[in-house]
Structure 1
């Protein structure tokens, strides 16, 4: 059995971690983004389906394309972020299942023949993988600013035209500037939202 993480790690991952809106002018290297994915990819998904596809937006050209898809309130902070990850769902994820889940040889056909099940599975597990990505970033000392607030149809036409990818959410990544933090909102207590039966 693994030992609990020390308090310092819990603070970095959850208790003191914040959603950032302002960013330091500090580069996030491609190597560090590779390290982020090398951690995030090990989070569990159902049948090891791994439907998330991550596009890391860094270049001025890519940022300009993304800008046209953003809600007004998200433009400034996203353009200032060193990286914005587009967390997208591959609705044809199951074509990889013979390799990713060989213990169920019929998995790809099952999803191919049931588009509703495939889409539900893809979106649920992509969202999980997006959360793993945030935790992986925080583990490696990066701050995150996950968000909605974009035109998903436009973004998909700009970045994923004629593909099986559909955007799920965005996440700004970098080194946050605490001057841009809002007061931390409350969270529901255990007895408000949890049951033990």
Structure 2
């Protein structure tokens, strides 16, 4: 059975795509990031909520603040990547839900109450959006270096002091540089993952 996506696109997004650990110094523009977001914003989430928030770290001062919270092995590549994005969940995402969308009454009952319910939903759905964002970076012909090795509390205090956002990932973005790839790790086979009941 064939896929609707042609083989070249499958390679670009999945088979040949890798997590980059080095990058060239070619800049990543705001226009490229907007094109990425404008593509992936349509991907599905529960209730069509959009809890993902993206902070582009462009200034030297902000980069230095971020690097100080990264795990030791992630510091050099975060310091030198053309662009770094902090991807976070907005735990008050419900304030942005459009009142005219079909599920608003049900969503209002679920999300406008206790914050722990919102935090759980924000974490799950923003994590989905993180995955979409990475695929969008690849679709733009760029490489992504997603990382979770960092002091989350430190980043939250540094970049989200109001307490309404929770960092999920930090992603280096750019054109892959020299020796950008680690050896590909094995993947589970279809039969190891899929069962039928």
Give the match's secondary structure for 2:56: strand
Q: In the alignment, is the contact (CA less than 8 A) between 1:91 and 1:166 conserved in 2?
A: yes
Give the match's secondary structure for 1:54: strand
Aligned partners of 1:34, 1:99: CA distance in 2, in Å? 25
Aligned partners of 1:91, 1:122: CA distance in 2, in Å? 6
Structure 1 residue 60, shift from structure 2 partner: 1.1
Give the match's secondary structure for 1:180: coil
- Residue number in structure 2 paired with 1:53: 53
1:128 counterpart = 2:128: yes
- Residue number in structure 1 paired with 2:36: 36
Aligned partners of 1:102, 1:55: CA distance in 2, in Å? 30
Unaligned runs of 5+ in 2: none
When the two chains are superposed, the root-mean-square deviation of aligned CA atoms in Å is 1.5
- Residue number in structure 2 paired with 1:22: 22
- Residue number in structure 1 paired with 2:9: 9
Structure 1 residue 109, shift from structure 2 partner: 4.4
> What aligned pairs does 1:1-197 form with structure 2 within 5 A after superposition?
4-99=4-99, 101-197=101-197
Structure 1 residue 37, shift from structure 2 partner: 0.7
Give the match's secondary structure for 2:138: helix
Q: In the alignment, is the contact (CA less than 8 A) between 1:51 and 1:89 conserved in 2?
A: yes
Task: Note closer, same or farther for the CA distance 1:91–1:100 as it changes in structure 2 (3 Å cut).
Answer: farther
Q: In the alignment, is the contact (CA less than 8 A) between 1:20 and 1:178 conserved in 2?
A: no
Give the match's secondary structure for 2:153: helix
TM-score, length basis structure 2: 0.93
Give the match's secondary structure for 1:144: strand
Aligned partners of 2:110, 2:98: CA distance in 1, in Å? 12
Q: In the alignment, is the contact (CA less than 8 A) between 1:49 and 1:101 conserved in 2?
A: no
Q: In the alignment, is the contact (CA less than 8 A) between 1:81 and 1:172 conserved in 2?
A: yes
Structure 1 residue 59, shift from structure 2 partner: 1.8
